[in-house]
A and B are shown apart, each in its own frame.
Chain A
Amino acid sequence: MVREASLRETYGETLVELGRENPDIVVLDADLSKSTMTQFFARAFPERFFDCGIAEQNMVTIAAGLASSGKIPFASTFAVFAPGRCFDQVRMSIAQPGLNVKLVVTHGGITVGEDGTSHQAIEDLALAGALPGFTVIVPADAIETAQAVRIAAASDGPFYIRLCRSKAPVLYDDSYRFSLGKAVTMRPGNDVTVIAIGLMVAAALEAASNLSKDGIDCRVLNMPTLKPIDEAAIIKAAVETKAIVTAEEHLEHGGLGSVVARIVVNHQPVPMEFIALKDTYAESGKANELLEKYGLTARDIEQAVRQVIKKAK
């Protein structure tokens, strides 16, 4: 049985540690502290926690003001509400001045499940990735989450970190060191490369394991930093494996696949396939049912790999 852990709880616990280490860490939430797990920080440091109520535009702009005065604000809500609900505020008050605000959002992607489309962020990476100067991170497990949050706290400038609602398989052990802007080779391989983010990393590993039974040697890269992305690892994969599949719990438009394709076309054009939502909203349902229905499973990745290898020949 694969061990699973909650990225959100890890985020909340990491915030408390950071709060102990640095008095300038402050946390804001928009009435979702029990879901984003900023509630841990709220209990530990009530004077440094600001619940802004159900007002995301106000929250992110207050965070900008705090950052302009030297604080290190972490502002949290669901991924669907930030940057979606407050895009202009994030753009003008945080991105343009390059302020040191950390947007850490939870409930990214369709695995939010039963709450349905209103709560399933599928455009957020395109929005956040479009903002000049923003660093965008999608951790794949709890261990990567803790380290990404720590690196965000220690780095100057705006960050967007997207976490999922559900627990996720633990992919790393404690010796793992997250390196900003670097891909992680989860599995070596020379026939094809699958580049994945978030929950899709585990699915990609499962697909690679199945494909190996058919003699297909599949490289799997975790790409936790979507921006600035690891161009060298992408170019190397294109050169060495001659075919690439991307996998993400996001729309095809503007997410991981678009970014990887731009780099591949610029440097080393090779056939690609894209596992992502195809210009559609999803619906209510259990997370695994939705992944199945919308084509985001290990089996879908396997099919894409077989397809892209055919094209590469």
Chain B
Amino acid sequence: MSTLSRTPRLLGRPTRGRIGRWVFNTALVLAGVIMLSPVAWVFINSIEPEKDQFVLPPVWLPHTLTLFSYKQLFQQIPFLLQLGNSLIISAAVVIGSTIVSVLAAYAFARMEFPGKNVLFVILLSGLMLPTQIAAVPEFVEVKYLGLLNTRLSLIIPALIQVFGIFLLRQHFKTIPRELEDAARIDGAGELQILRRVIVPLSWPALSATAIITTQYIWNDFFWPNLYITDPHKMVAALGLVTLQNSFLGGPVAGVFAGLSVLAIPVVVLFVLLQRQLMEGFGYAGVSR
């Protein structure tokens, strides 16, 4: 997969002229600057002394830097704990749902059993519909399972990622059967074939599944907001919304610090891992 390699030029001819190209490039770069400027504004505000914060025009180049906003944040809410919750929940869902998906996808791609096609079609119906729509019964269920206000309420229901099953099944079907037969002759069981043959040949599909799932869980606000009211069990973004609400939406130094903690690593991560992430999203996008 070379998602990032270039195809022939679609706009204009190469002889368009140097000035035209220069203007075009500048416009694109500027569009990017405008796109990320809200993040930059939040970050710069978070490291400024109080007198430079939230003023208009914004002070883009502060004379002195301070971490007092961050100190405030950690005094106001258990933010480190919440950040930990976000990471633990994302990691648990990605690992757990990938195992569930790999097993099911292998069975759908390679094994024969009564009811296989019916089951697969039923599963696929869950591909298009956001589970949010069924929030009322889902809430009742989670309440009766005793999971309200626990991190598990955000992990267990998320272990089923129909999209991952679908994506992995499509990929497993492209792996030549001869490889498995060879392993089978050597006495390998299904689980060993899965681990030794199928998984090592499926890294693009697996990483795409993992990237999509991580994004989905990390981005989700609906379920944490519905299930969690205890600040110690909240994910970080929910903690920030709660903090902002407790100040009636006014600008709060701590909130800006928290936003920076959530946003800046993501931008850095994207710069460093752009190739992998773009390929992951792209892979998933085309396979739908």
A and B bind: no
Which positions in A face B, CB cutoff 8 Å?
A: none
